[in-house]
Amino acid sequence: MKKFLKFKVNNANQVLIDCDTIAKVEVGANDDEIDILTNITGHVATGAAEVLSYKLTFATGASGPQNGVGINEIVEAIESSYTTSWTNPVKDMSAMTLGGFALASIAIDQKAFA
C-alpha cells in the first residue's frame, strides 16, 4: 500500500510525496530550509547523481538547530504513516512548523545526492 506525505501552503502550493521514493531528508542550503530527496533520477546533463527533490522553506526566522527537529519530525511521520490502515494513505504535514515558523513554500527541485 502506497503512503504519502502531504505538504500544503495554499491550494496553489502543495505536494504529495510518495514515502516509498524518499531516500534522504536533510538540511537545505539555508537555515530556513529542509530538503527531501527522492530516489527518482533527475536531469543527468551535469554528470552528477541528481535526483528529484522537494525544498520546504519556512518563514524567515527559522534557524539551523531547529532543522534537526524538523528533519526528525518528517522521518517520524514517514515511519508512522506505514503503521496506519490502508484507508489512511495520506499523512497531512501542512501544520508542520520549524521552531514555531510555518511552512512558507514548497519547490520541486533536483539536487546532487551526496
Digit-coded pLDDT (tens) for 71-104: 889 999 999 999 988 899 999 999 888 878 889 9
Q: What is the pLDDT of residue 30?
A: 85
Model pLDDT, residue 114? 64
Closest CA to 103 of 50, 36, 18: 36
- The pLDDT assigned to 55 comes to 93
10-62 pLDDT, tens digit per residue, is: 988 899 999 999 999 998 888 888 999 999 886 666 666 788 899 999 887 77
Q: What is 75-98 written as a DSSP string?
A: HHHHHHHTTS-TT--EEE-TT-EE
Q: How far apart are CA 18 and CA 3, in angstroms?
A: 6
Q: Note the pLDDT of residue 27.
A: 87
